[in-house]
Structure 1
Amino acid sequence: MSDSTAVDPSNVDQLRAWDGNQGEFWTSRADRFNEGVAGYQDRFLDAAEIDRASTVLDIGCGSGQTTRDAARRAVDGSVLGVDLSSSMIELARRLAARDELSNVAFEQVDAQVHDFPEQHFDVAISRHGVMFFGDPLAAFRNIARAVRPGGRLALLTWQPVERIEWMTAFRTLLAAGRELPLPPSTGPSPFSLSDPDAVRELLSAAGFDDVQLHDLAEPMYFGRDVDDACDFIAEQHAWLLADLDADDKSRAIADLRADLADHQTERGVLYDSAAWLVEARRR
């Protein structure tokens, strides 16, 4: 990130992660993440109600799959994708150029503090990209400021961790008997927007009305077979394996492979997941 780019102090750790090793991992595995959550994509974009002339803001756009899909709907409009990861933004730009999409742009910014044009966007969207703000209220107020009155907000966020089969299964298997805490439901976390009442309160305080959460459940894809899925999951959760000795690590991987085999289907290795589709309007 350039020295001239404003980052809120509460997001410094997120910048370090997403503009560092974590961002590099998801850049290298962008296709797998997009394949993993593909079951949610059409319903999510339909909820955004993007029309041909819409101006769209995609927050936490990653490698830009949702940004590009939005641009294909807003053929006479424009779409801006923003993210903290320079490597994912670079990939997003390359993929948009490959697809010859001239109505899309990408910027590496902190959406919590970035000076977006006021009341500019018709729609703001985010697919699993808004759970990591250091100050969520400040962030959503800034996003609301950028959306015109009456404009739409559409988010996809994870439901509570106990409903995310893949998360609980992988952490348990790779813990190898250790007692590991689950990710927190507050603060920068995949599950910081998993409580419907907290989401309604947050978005209402930020300037949005008619906040609705819809219960969605889709299988998550992790690989074409056990070997493919195991390589991906072991890399994604390498931090869980780092402190294990050789025997415990081998045992954990063997347990993971057995569980993956139980989830092998004709479509590949699938685990259950659950998300909230959040819709709101800018007041």
Structure 2
Amino acid sequence: MGTVVNQHQAEAWNGYEGRHWADHQARYDAVNSGFNDVLLTAVEPGDRVLDVGCGNGQLTRLAARRAGAGRAVGIDLSAPMLDRARASAADEGVGNVEFVRADAQVHPFPAAAFDVALSRFGVMFFADPVAAFGNIGRALRPGGRLAFVCLDDLRRADLGRVLAALAAHLPPPQTEGTGAAEPLSLADPAVVHRVVTAAGFAGVECAPVEAPQVWGRDAADAAGFLAGWGPIRHQLDRVDPATADRARAALAEALRPYEQPDGVRLRGTAWLVSARRPDQPYDAG
């Protein structure tokens, strides 16, 4: 892997966080795949597609199929997740796809090499988002398209109400002083518009989108999965075992109202962001 400026994220996604996502590939896809279609509408036959923060690569593979005679390249920091992405592409017989381990903020993409850049919840963690989107923009041809989904305020989603049940048992998340970008760093459309415009894109639009997210077979199963998710596991590790057990029980109880015959379904919310690289020479920093 080349230069990395987002060292905190590189450590997380090549440590426990990345291994958990790779080991539970199907489960995370069940959570996030409802947002695939709104992104894939940006892909046309023959397109050269860049998937930023591709993770286990489901969106990349779908984009490659949609591009047909085109191709798709997924980029991510996580070696465990890229191993899963490559294995899945081979298993599915998707040949027009490539996965690159690199930091999208500084990776030396060939200029104007792509027609469209996509991301499914992979752009919220940049150390310098303006620089990162500027670098992605330079990889797009003039008139190229950008489409990504990023988290909305969790309080407007079912998951926010579920996680609120943990507040009585766990300390607040530690974020200040870590140098880490927040998962909700782009939850405000005004921030999105300012960042993406400053990076040199035009026609920035943010539209609210919703999708069902399947978290497990039943409340107990979903609670166990959520308890292993990096942000919650970190919080559970900060308390004594008895308190952690109470938090897990509260999580399962909060999930119970969302049980359906085919699993625990939460309503997920996000922002669908679209923009384009201007036709004139691109000079974003």
Q: Please give the TM-score of this superposition, normalised by the length of structure 1.
A: 0.91
Give me the whole-angstrom Cα distance separating, in 2, the residues matched to 1:154 and 1:87.
25
Alignment RMSD, CA only? 1.8
Matches within 5 A, 1:160-175: 160-170=153-163, 172-175=164-167
Are the counterparts in 1 of residues 124 and 181 from structure 2 also a CA contact under 8 Å? yes
Distance in 2 of aligned mates of 1:51 and 1:177 = 48
Q: CA offset at residue 179 of structure 1? A: 4.8
Where do 1:254-265 residues align within 5 Å?
254-265=249-260
What's the CA shift for 1:247? 2.8
Gaps of 5+ in 2: 279-285
Task: Tell me the amino acid that sits aligned with residue 173 of structure 1.
Answer: A
Q: 1:177 to 1:20 in 2, by over 3 A?
A: closer
Out of 89, 92, 103, which is 1:110 matched to? 103
> Equivalences for 1:90-239 in 2 at 5 Å?
90-170=83-163, 172-181=164-173, 188-236=181-229, 237-239=232-234
Corresponding residue number in structure 1 for 2:46: 53
Contact 1:183 1:190 in 2 (8 A): no
Q: Is the 8 A contact 1:176 1:248 kept in 2?
A: no
Partner of 1:268: 263
- The one-letter code matched in structure 1 to 2:250 is D
Q: Which amino acid aligns with 1:133?
A: F
User: Residues 115 and 164 (structure 1 numbering): CA distance in 2 closer, same or farther, change over 3 Å?
Assistant: same
Q: 1:280 aligns with which of 268, 275, 279?
A: 275
State which drifts further: 136-145 or 160-169.
Answer: 160-169
Equivalent position SS for 1:37: helix
Q: Sequence identity of aligned pairs in percent?
A: 42
Alpha-carbon distance change, 178 to 18 in structure 1, aligned in 2, over 3 angstroms: closer
Do the aligned partners of 1:174 and 1:241 also contact (CA within 8 Å) in 2?
no
Which one-letter code corresponds to 1:57 in the other structure? Answer: L
Runs of 5+ in structure 1 lacking a partner?
A: none
CA deviation string 1:62-117 (max 9, x = no partner): 01000000001011011100000011111111111111111100010000000000
Number of residue equivalences: 274
Determine the structure 1 residue equivalent to 2:34. Answer: 39
The SS at the match of 2:187 is: coil
Out of 231, 236, 241, the position equivalent to 1:241 is: 236
Q: Give a deviation string over 1:148-184, Cα, whole Å, max 9, x none.
A: 11010000101123223314522x3334444515978
Equivalents in 2 of 1:94, 1:177: separation in Å? 40
CA contact (8 A) 2:173 2:235 kept: no
Q: Distance in 2 between matches of 1:275 and 1:175?
A: 23
| 1:126 to partner: Cα distance | 0.4
Once residues 100 and 209 of structure 2 are traced to their aligned partners in structure 1, the CA distance between those partners, rounded to angstroms, is 30
Q: Is the 8 A contact 1:175 1:240 kept in 2?
A: no
Distance, in Å, in 1 between the alignment partners of 2:38 and 2:15 is 31
Distance 2:170 2:75 in 1: 38
- Aligned partner of 1:36: which letter? V
Question: Contact (CA 8 Å) 1:183, 1:191: kept in 2 or not?
Answer: no
Partners of 1:12 and 1:174 lie apart in 2 by 29
